[in-house]
Amino acid sequence: AQTVTQSQPEMSVQEAETVTLSCTYDTSESDYYLFWYKQPPSRQMILVIRQEAYKQQNATENRFSVNFQKAAKSFSLKISDSQLGDAAMYFCAYSLGAGSYQLTFGKGTKLSVIP
């Protein structure tokens, strides 16, 4: 079974600084997707970024980027120029290749942004 591990239950960052959230996963598959979701106090899960395992290039979305190390099964999220609105729970998630109908989530990292 696939597992996703987030080893940092809580992290904090100064506003305008950069922070990196860690995620490792375990799978024997070669075709899969990885995601970072953000869950603010409103409870709605919001997709931050998505990475396809067969793509070497790391995904980026504005201030958010990932460091995808396939051999090491590592998928970290870097948030640059942190803003107060970035404060939330961040979940790393895994899905098998196209046609898979479920996500496997990590336990999450609570990010605080200090003004």
Partner 1 sequence: KAGVTQTPRYLIKTRGQQVTLSCSPISGHRSVSWYQQTPGQGLQFLFEYFSETQRNKGNFPGRFSGRQFSNSRSEMNVSTLELGDSALYLCASSLWGGAGNSPLHFGNGTRLTVT
Residues found near partner 1 in the complex (CB under 8 A): 32-33, 35, 37, 42-47, 50, 52, 91, 93, 95-108
Q: How far is the CB of 101 from partner 1 (least distance, A)?
A: 4
Q: Would you say the C-alpha torsion 68, 49, 6, 9 has a positive or negative sign?
A: positive
Q: How far is the CB of 26 from partner 1 (least distance, A)?
A: 16
Phi first, then psi: give them for residue 84, nearest 5 degrees: -55, -35
Name, in order, each residue with C-beta under 8 angstroms of 85's C-beta and a sequence gap of 6 or more.
40
The C-alpha angle with vertex 56 and arms to 54 and 61, in degrees rounded to 5, equals 100
Give the residue with the Cβ less far from partner 1, 52 or 112. 52
Give the residue with the Cβ less far from partner 1, 53 or 87. 53
Give the residue with the Cβ less far from partner 1, 46 or 84. 46
